[in-house]
Amino acid sequence: MDKDLVFLKECTNEQLQVLSDLLVYKPNGHRRTSVSLSSTRNYDLYYPNEMHLLLEDVTNELLLQGGNKVRNFLRGGKGVSYHKLLIDICNKQKVNFNPHNTVEQLEKYLLQKTIETAIEDMTEEDVHQISSELSKKDLSNIVSSGFRLTSPIILKTTTMVMAQILRKLGLKIVAGALGRFIGTRLFSILTGPVGWVLGGLWTAYDLLGPSYKVTVPCVMTIAYFRATINLTEESFNE
């Protein structure tokens, strides 16, 4: 397994199912013909209840989707490294970064760019669902000046945006995947009314090529999982 994806072993079964479903299914619920994961014996054996046993297959499929078919063949049937895939996606999403940045830094910048784009589509009423004390300008300034998911406001905003993205892409287990502490207040945040429409994000998504429509949401989700993997229940409830 790619060294930068080993941390996924610490994720929940629901979280790993999200990654698998992002790879296999289109937003309309149909399976992607370009993805071979769902036609494997391991998929039949381990999906959806034993996702840790399917994890290596899932990550291999993602990296194959991020590579060129000819180059994958020359690499002995292997895809690109996760670091190279991440750089490619940051370029595609017009993220400001240094190619020498670490994987963690690149993922942070990718999430920050995504949240900044989402905030542009929010109304003041939408922002008040996140915090009654903040204006849209306040939230934008907080995200742009210091994007840290240890900040409760940024964590809540990012979680709600990621929940919308995954729901838009047809996933049905969003709460279990993003709210690692079901039964807490985060559950009500994820299932409660969220008014904004992420128009800028969907416009950009619609313009992506077939492989990017698979890899971009997968990598954003991996970035979110890595950033929140060690957060405590108190962090989510603060």
Taking the model in full, what pTM does it have? Answer: 0.91
**Bridge partners, residue 31, by sequence:** 25
Give residue 78's pLDDT. 74
Q: Give pLDDT, residue 71.
A: 54
pLDDT score at 86: 97
pLDDT confidence of residue 182: 44
pLDDT for residue 27 = 92
Q: Where are the alpha helices (DSSP H) in the chain?
A: 13-24, 41-46, 55-65, 69-74, 82-92, 103-120, 124-130, 136-145, 152-168, 174-178, 185-191, 199-206, 210-228, 233-237
**What was the pLDDT predicted at 188?**
61
Q: Could you report how far apart the first and last alpha carbons of the chain are, in Å?
A: 35
Identify whether 152 is preceded by a cis peptide bond (ω within 30 of 0). no
The confidence score (pLDDT) of residue 215 equals 96
User: What range does the domain containing 216 cover?
Assistant: 3-237
| pLDDT tens over the chain, length 238 residues | 999 999 999 999 999 999 999 999 999 999 999 999 999 999 999 999 999 999 999 999 999 998 765 455 445 557 899 999 999 999 999 999 998 999 999 999 999 999 999 999 888 988 887 888 999 999 999 999 989 988 888 988 898 889 888 888 998 887 678 765 444 555 565 555 555 677 888 888 888 998 999 999 999 999 999 999 988 766 666 5
Residue 51: per-residue pLDDT: 98
Please count the other Cβ atoms lying within 10 Å of the Cβ belonging to residue 124.
11
Number of domains forming the structure of the chain: 1
| pLDDT value of residue 183 | 46
Please state whether the peptide bond connecting residue 99 to the residue before it is cis, i.e. omega within 30 degrees of 0: no
What gap in Å lies between CA 122 and CA 226, rounded to an integer? Answer: 26
Which residue from 11, 2, 16, 65 is spatially nearest to 173, judged by alpha carbons? 16
